[in-house]
Amino acid sequence: MTNRSRRWRLAVVATGLSALALLVAGCGPDNGQNSLRPTGEQAKQIDDLIVPIFGVAIVVAILVGIATVYCAIRFRARPGREDRPKQIHGNTAVEIGWTLIPAVILAVIAVPTVSLIFKLSEPPAANAVEVTAVGKQWWWQFDVTEKGEKKVVVADEFHVPVNRDVHMTLTACDPSLGTRPTGGCNVIHSFWVPELIGKRDVIPGHRNELTFRAEKTGTYLGQCAEYCGLSHANMRFRVIVDSEDDYQDWIDGQREGPAVALADSGEAGKLFAQKYACTNCHTTEDSSLSVYGPNLTHLASRSVFASGYYKLTRANLIDWILNAPSMIPMESKECRLPPGPDNICVGMPSFVENTPPGYPTMTRDEATTIADYLLELK
């Protein structure tokens, strides 16, 4: 076998393996985040734009591939042949052609793209649900309201009605984030629910907006799509699309006070508010308050917690209360100390490891008592 034939066989094998890898990559299990299976009105419009552009890209890729193979064969090195092919510099027709053809292709793609950008930015309907998404590290806070009504503050998941516009305001700034050194702002995040709407960046000091309308009830998975630090990959959330009646029941329930007042929670209240000072970051008393950590007034009404990473079960919640950093990476090694001038305390602390001098270490019985109290907050 000659060296040339060996190289050709290796090239064929490499091409085949690459094609197989691409095929296998597209055959994974459904993770609930398939942008090619749109359910929202806006997601369908984006998909309708992607399909023809993808078709154009395939045609261009095939033509370029054919031209590449042709040139590789036609101008390959041969004994007794000039290595340098005939030059075409100064050929006006060819130069105009390879300038105009890409320009026309880009223009064909740009016109519908720009048109859709403007269409997606149109104002929502008058009866739209207003939701403010606040990107924090590493979880999402959602302030849900309707005109003239009291807002509710939730974390990790929020509900919306089917077949009604949802107007999202996206921000990385919130008074609960403090004033030093960032002026109440967090880092850059990106809001993305693939089956309902495309990505939109969440930028400190700048408020972005988007509108989506879900056409089918169900649970839709979203996540942060912009690297934002240590636990970026765990920064998930859920959009739960309800019927109009179910949505109204949910929001009415969220506007109510806590099922168990902190003052009436006995030993759990003492542990939560005094011994371990959980109220420094959380509230269980008012569902309209934005605080540093997730609002827990109706925690038990949620299906997930810890930025949507864990199902809300008693066992998971007890483990989380004891040692949250062991379940999700966080920069919270010394978070039980008062925040320093750099305010770098990010995440929930461990109550069993790295305990500062003079601070109590939590027992599993104490964590169970706190968890049972929180699970009453429906």
Domain residues of the chain, as ranges?
129-254, 262-374
277: phi > 0 → left, psi -120 to 50 → alpha, else beta; which?
Answer: left
- DSSP annotation of 47: H
Q: Do domains 129-254 and 262-374 have the same CATH topology?
A: yes
Confidence at residue 135, expressed as pLDDT on a 0 to 100 scale? 94
Assigned CATH for 262-374:
2.60.40.420
User: How many CB atoms neighbour CB 239 within 10 A?
Assistant: 24
Confidence at residue 177, expressed as pLDDT on a 0 to 100 scale? 75
Task: Provide φ and ψ at 94, rounded to 5°.
Answer: -65, -45
The neighbouring-strand residues paired with 360 are none
Confidence at residue 326, expressed as pLDDT on a 0 to 100 scale? 92
Task: Note whether 237 and 199 are within 8 A (CB).
Answer: no
Measured distance CA(305)–CA(157) in Å, rounded: 9
Confidence at residue 3, expressed as pLDDT on a 0 to 100 scale? 58
Task: Provide φ and ψ at 312, rounded to 5°.
Answer: -80, 95
State the pairing for strand pair 139-145/129-136.
antiparallel
Measured distance CA(113)–CA(118) in Å, rounded: 9
Confidence at residue 9, expressed as pLDDT on a 0 to 100 scale? 66
Contacts of residue 275, defined as CB under 8 A and 6 or more positions apart, other chains included, come to 360, 366
CA distance to 17, 82, 85, 230, per residue, from 89 (Å): 38, 18, 12, 52
Query: Among residues 78, 152, 106, 185, which one has the least CA distance to residue 301?
Result: 152
Quick check: bond before 341 cis, omega within 30? no
Confidence at residue 263, expressed as pLDDT on a 0 to 100 scale? 92
Which CATH superfamily does the domain covering 129-254 fall into? Answer: Cupredoxins -  blue copper proteins (2.60.40.420)
Task: Note whether 296 and 321 are within 8 A (CB).
Answer: no
Confidence at residue 346, expressed as pLDDT on a 0 to 100 scale? 80
For the chain (length 378 residues), average pLDDT per consecutive 10? 60 61 59 82 89 88 91 80 74 86 89 90 91 93 88 96 95 78 81 93 92 94 93 94 96 94 94 93 94 94 94 97 92 70 72 88 96 96
